Amino acid sequence: MKINLEQLKHALSAQTFKTDLVANNMANINTSGYKRDIMFMDLLDKFDTNYDNKDVITEFTQGTMKETANPLDVAFSGRGFFVIENNGKEYYTRDGHFTVDNEGNLSTAEGFKIMGQGGIINVSLDGAKTGEFSVSKLGEIFVDDEYIDMLKIVDFEDYSQLRKEGVNLFSTFNNQKPYEPEVYMLLQRHLEGSNVNSVNEMVELISLQRNFESTQKAVRTLDDALGKAANDIGRYR
């Protein structure tokens, strides 16, 4: 199979793009609910010469479950997404590291509001934010044994139709609609870690670096050869 200079340059571009993906995965190893990204061509069983194919696939495998002492930490065991609101639009996340904002609203660490069956969840009682917070396995929220609301839990038929927004938020496209699952389980005082394997990512990063250096060397060699050939042709004209 003949590889020309243009293909080698495209290969360098693809390797750089993939290196950035792996580096981003490693940077989010400790991010709750983070899902690993890979390039679509990594899923192909055969060598793909379409170096312009930089489609990204998100892996939705279960992350490592970590027990915490924080009652506001909630994790999925299995499928499902929390629903959040930001500027009037709904997004979806697996990150259950919740906080309570100054208005008593249950929020993400970034300040996005957590949605319940009745809308944005407010956990204040008589204007006070404090109280014993508990969440059932089905998402029922209680403060000092008083029922507040039920977390809005959704799932999707096709995870490939979810688009990552930032680090661990997702939106839908191609008109995919969420549905309310009948079977799911939540664990209070737990967080789902990322599904990134640090050892595998480091091995991948080293391999990419070696491939990049080899391809870069091939580009220089072929570029020099083409330049010499052009000079020789010019000399004999």
pLDDT for residue 195: 94
The size of the chain, in residues, is 237
**Helix, coil or strand: residue 209:** helix
- Is 104 found in the same domain as 10? no
- Is 124 found in the same domain as 80? yes
Residues of 187-211 as b/e, b for ≥16 C-beta within 10 angstroms? bbbbbbbbbbeeeebeebbeebeee
pLDDT single digits (tens) 11-33: 666 677 888 888 899 999 999 99
Asked if the structure places residue 161 within a domain, the reply is: yes
- Is 71 found in the same domain as 53? no
pLDDT single digits (tens) 49-101: 444 556 888 999 999 999 999 999 999 998 999 999 998 899 999 999 999 99
Considering its fold, how many domains does the chain have in total? 2
- Is 86 found in the same domain as 118? yes
What is the DSSP code string of 29-81?
Answer: TTSTT---EEEGGGG-SS----TT---EEE--PPPPEEE-S-TTBEEESSS-E
Query: Please, what is the average pLDDT of the chain?
Result: 82
- Is 208 found in the same domain as 175? no
Instruction: Give 118's pLDDT tier (boundaries 50, 70, 90).
Output: very high
pLDDT single digits (tens) 119-147: 999 998 766 666 799 999 999 999 999 99
Instruction: Give 193's pLDDT tier (boundaries 50, 70, 90).
Output: very high
φ, ψ for residue 148, nearest 5 deg: -105, -55
Two tokens, residue 78: 């299995």
Greatest mean pLDDT among 40-49, 160-169, 228-237 lies in 160-169
Helices and strands of the chain, counted as H and E runs: 2, 18
Structural domain range at position 186 = 65-192
- Is 148 found in the same domain as 83? yes
Find the Cα–Cα–Cα–Cα dihedral 53, 55, 61, 63, rounded to 10°. 110
Asked if the structure places residue 233 within a domain, the reply is: no
φ, ψ for residue 42, nearest 5 deg: -70, -20
Asked if the structure places residue 130 within a domain, the reply is: yes
Top pLDDT among 40 and 75 is at: 75
pLDDT at 174 over 70: yes
- Is 101 found in the same domain as 18? no
- Is 5 found in the same domain as 96? no
pLDDT for residue 200: 87
